[in-house]
Structure 1
């Protein structure tokens, strides 16, 4: 069972029960944490940004949804609320850094340095870049 490394108190509250105990119920699922676990379970792929992002995640999520349905459990995904002040600027800066790293990797590739390009693509740890119209301002 995945645990929240950053929250010792919550991790101590984890208890295992038969799945049948949840039959015919609805459960709240922290969407951000759920997606984080899905992305972290992704095999390491150094060309992830070159491929255009995460591959195979849709089938894993659909499998989870099928499992919940088979056990008569309805998940309610709870998403984060409004961003904290300054969070947008941090996200934009990180996205710009990710784009610049991808550009450097493609430049290496086009200059015949494929091994260096693969290594550079692998350094780009951002799994998903959300493009914002303010990028580049």
Structure 2
């Protein structure tokens, strides 16, 4: 399971010109599911996302997590994170999870997240427009 996290001052996602998710200070998470992923990996990635120390403390050092600052999480599915880009000029998706597996794990991830922080979402599998103000910019790729 792959998560691309971006520290944001605000972010939103739209589907068909309708806002489906919107957050203030927090993390925009682009979530990619691979074939070998399961609920255990989703739990591990969620723990990492919520506890990864990417927010500044009183000294300006990245020592605070999303939980520490009581920030918000915007989760957007993005199967292209599972692309193989090593060969050629066209991405391959043989390592990406099936749409059914990916949606099941996406829904599971979101449900678990909602128990811990304010969580907003896009719509799985939809053509989405994501806008954000990347704070820093601070962006990390997390993989479990």
- Structure (1/2) with the larger strand percentage: 2
- Structure (1/2) with the larger helix percentage: 1
- Return the TM-score normalized by structure 1: 0.29
Q: Considering only CA atoms, is the larger Rg found in Structure 1 or Structure 2?
A: 1
- Return the TM-score normalized by structure 2: 0.28
